[in-house]
Amino acid sequence: MDTTVFRGVELQTVPQQIANAIKEVIYKGQLQPGESVAKQEDLAQTFGVSRPTIREALRILSREQVILPNPNKESGYVIASFHPDNAMSNVRDMIILSLTFQTMTLLDLFHVRQMLEIPCAGLAAERRTAADLERLRRHLPTVDLVESTRELIELDLNFHLILAESTHNPLAIMLVRALTTAYMRFIPELLQVDKASIVADLPEVYEAIRDQDIEQAKLQMRRHMSNFVNFYDMHERSITHVHHT
Calculate ∠ Cα 231-235-241, nearest 5°: 145
What whole-number distance in Å separates Cα of residue 68 and Cα of residue 63?
9
Torsion angle of C-alpha atoms 173, 179, 181, 184, degrees rounded to 10:
-140
Question: pLDDT (tens digit, 9 = 90+) per residue, 126-163?
Answer: 999 999 999 999 999 999 888 888 899 999 999 999 99
Q: What number of other Cβ atoms are within 10 A of residue 133's Cβ?
A: 16
What whole-number distance in Å separates Cα of residue 122 and Cα of residue 152?
24
What's the total number of domains in the chain?
2
**Does one domain contain both 165 and 150?**
yes
**Does one domain contain both 130 and 150?**
yes
**Does one domain contain both 23 and 144?**
no
CA 226 vs. chain centroid, Å, equals 22
Domain holding 204, by residue range, is 85-243
What whole-number distance in Å separates Cα of residue 99 and Cα of residue 125?
32
Q: What number of other Cβ atoms are within 10 A of residue 200's Cβ?
A: 17
**Does one domain contain both 72 and 163?**
no
At 122 the three-state DSSP class reads helix
Secondary structure letter of residue 6 according to DSSP: G
> Of 53, 79, 105, which one is at a domain's C-terminal end?
79
The whole-number pLDDT of residue 107 equals 84
Tell me how long the chain is.
Answer: 245
The whole-number pLDDT of residue 27 equals 81
> Of 28, 54, 79, which one is at a domain's C-terminal end?
79
Enumerate residue ranges in the chain where pLDDT < 50: 239-245
Side-chain-side CA neighbours of 23 within 13 Å: the count stands at 17
- CATH code of the domain covering residue 164: 1.20.120.530
Whole-number CA gyration radius for the chain? 23
Question: pLDDT (tens digit, 9 = 90+) per residue, 97-132?
Answer: 888 788 888 888 889 999 999 999 999 999 999 999
**Does one domain contain both 19 and 92?**
no
**What's the maximum distance between 2 C-alpha atoms anywhere in the chain?**
67
Q: Where would I find the beta strands (DSSP E) of the chain? A: 67-69, 77-79
**Does one domain contain both 180 and 104?**
yes
- Cα–Cα nearest to 99, from 163, 190, 229: 190
The whole-number pLDDT of residue 29 equals 85
**Does one domain contain both 122 and 204?**
yes
CB 175, CB 156: distance < 8 Å: no
> Of 34, 54, 79, which one is at a domain's C-terminal end?
79
Question: Mapped to the 3 state alphabet, what secondary structure does 133-160 carry?
Answer: HHHHHHCCCCHHHCCCHHHHHHHHHHHH
**Does one domain contain both 126 and 181?**
yes
**Does one domain contain both 73 and 94?**
no
The whole-number pLDDT of residue 245 equals 41
CA 42 vs. chain centroid, Å, equals 37
CB 79, CB 61: distance < 8 Å: no
The whole-number pLDDT of residue 75 equals 75
